[in-house]
Structure 1
Amino acid sequence: MIVFGAKQIRRIWHDDQWFFSVVDIIGALTDSENPRDYWYRMKQREKESSGIELSTLCRQLKLVSSDGKAYPTEAASTEAAFRIIQSIPSPKAEPFKRWLAEVGYQRVQEIENPELAQQRMRKLYQDKGYPDDWVEKRVRGIAVRDELTSEWQKRGIQDQKDFAILTGEISKATFGLTPADYKKLKGLKRENLRDHMTDLELIFTMLGEAATTEIARNKNAQGLLKNKLAAKAGGSVAGNARRQLEAKSGRKVITRDNYLIDKPKRKLPPKSE
């Protein structure tokens, strides 16, 4: 559950994203004594006014009720929940509507001037307490990643599963860990792995991906198999550089450290390779 004001909103992790109980959202953003009836009437009103069936935005997922049992409940993803909130004629919903309008306006600005997106990204990380030097590496890493994925798309890689496979190949060759294993090492669950990397981890991630882009381009790799070979080769460039640094510095690059504010940072115990 999450809490909005004094109201609890049930949620469930499904298909790699959060889904929220629509009835609970209605109860939190209106003064209705019967949120289910309010939701029913709101769907009718929206259908009559715009022709949109709000129920099509929802999924029937089992959520635990007040009696401790799980029942099929209309639940909406974050995107769908925001759309539903736009149809709630309640003063409590106005702050959300204004925020959505502001975000939409910012997105239009970023399309006209892409530099604004990077500026806002930097500020977002800075507001979360990340050091400025780290932020610059993270922003640069995003640009390197974007260049790589664009190159993959040109070479016939379209499916998200294939993107994950290739990313895994680079990570294994660079760090000896898949992204899933790396997240487990750092004690992460749904958090973004790269948001919890140290400066050096980010640098070697960038090197592996930049090298993969260069190799795929120069070798004219086409299709998944050829790009897997390029990914392994690119990751090996970064992996070899990582091992050389570790040998010279006497310190491991791979670390359990993370930026989770509610957990103490942990050091990776020494180990031989």
Structure 2
Amino acid sequence: LVAIDGKKYLTDCFSTENMFRVIQSIPSPKAEPFKLWLAKVGYQRIEEIDDPELAISRAMKTYLRKGCSKEWINQRLKSIEIRKELTDEWEKRGVKEGREFAILTNEITKAWTDMDVRSYKNLKGLKKENLRDNMTNLELVLNMLAEASTTEISNSKRPNNWVQNVDVVKKGGGVARKARNEIEKNTGKSVITSKNANNLRLK
């Protein structure tokens, strides 16, 4: 890694998962609070698997603590549901979770925003933050329209190879693009905005 003095030094780096493993292996009493926290988070995750409504409730509380409006939160939670329906559909069509999901998501985003995901995040000044967590209500609605349309088209067309799946997501994103163009035509302003979570919180 490059240090403050501009020189490069060999440095040990850990992923988040490996860092948690290191913490669990530390025998010092000082590590106990972290171990207890990890145990609590793990238990909550198991609870959410058994009862998905708990995950929704906790997500609601988390967004409220961040200062988000209830209207925005309801839109965001709905977007999670629609996203899940889309990824379930992709799995049926043989699309693999991870890289392939990301590629198709990128294609949907480009289809309705004219930007790839990275450019969209750059516009909003984001790095690792979730893009949807930083969308306005209208951006969320159009993104949901793009994903819901993709799900419906895929369910109807039943794509059975990669090229067909890419074609479907472009058509789904195109539905939202038409809606976006119509909104911008009638309002005279862009739907796509640089606003992020910091601007969207309740004052």
Q: Quick check: TM above 0.5?
A: yes
Which amino acid in 2 is paired with 1:78?
T
Cα distance in 2, alignment partners of residues 213 and 82 from structure 1: 36
Aligned equivalents of 2:182, 2:6: Cα separation in 1? 56
Q: Is 1:154 aligned to 2:89, yes or no?
A: no
| 2:75 alignment counterpart | 137
**Letter of the 1:225 counterpart:** V
Sort the Cα spacing of 1:91 and 1:63 in 2 relative to 1 into closer, same or farther, 3 A: farther
2:19 aligned residue (69, 77, 81): 81
Of residues 110, 117, 120, the one that matches 2:55 is: 117
Does structure 1 residue 96 correspond to structure 2 residue 34?
yes
1:196 — aligned with what?
134
Q: In the aligned structure 2, how far is the partner of 1:260 from the partner of 1:147?
A: 29
Residue by residue over 1:212-251, the C-alpha shift from the partner in whole angstroms, topping out at 9 and shown as x without a partner, is: 0000110111221101111111111111011112222333
How big is the shift at 1:164?
Answer: 2.1
Paired position in structure 1 for 2:120: 182
Q: Contact 2:91–2:97 at 8 Å: present in 1 too?
A: no
| 1:252 aligns with one of 186, 190, 193 | 190
- Displacement of 1:258 in angstroms is 1.2
Distance 1:68 1:184, change over 3 A: closer
Structure (1 or 2) with the greater helix fraction: 2
The structure in which a higher percent of residues are strand is 1
Per-residue deviation, residues 115-155 of structure 1 (Å, max 9, x unmatched): 10111111111111111111111111111111111111111
How many Å separate the matches in 1 of 2:193 and 2:11? 42
How big is each residue's C-alpha offset from its partner over 1:18-66, in whole Å with a ceiling of 9 and x where there is no partner?
Answer: xxxxxxxxxxxxxxxxxxxxxxxxxxxxxxxxxxxxxxxxxxxx4749x
- Residues 45-64 of structure 1: matches in 2 within 5 Å? 62=1, 64=3
Q: CA deviation at 1:211?
A: 0.2
Corresponding residue number in structure 2 for 1:236: 174
Percent identical pairs in the alignment equals 52
Tell me, in whole angstroms, the C-alpha distance in 2 between the residues paired with 1:116 and 1:255.
Answer: 32
User: How much is the aligned-residue C-alpha RMSD, in angstroms?
Assistant: 1.9
TM-score by length of 1: 0.68
Q: Is the 8 A contact 1:151 1:217 kept in 2?
A: yes
Q: Deviations over 1:84-134 (max 9, x none)?
A: 111212222111011011111111211111110111111111111111111
Question: Tell me, which stretches of 5 or more residues in structure 2 are unaligned?
Answer: none
SS of the equivalent of 2:115 reads: coil
Counterpart code for 1:256: S
The residue number in structure 2 matching 1:108 is 46
Q: Which structure: larger Rg?
A: 1
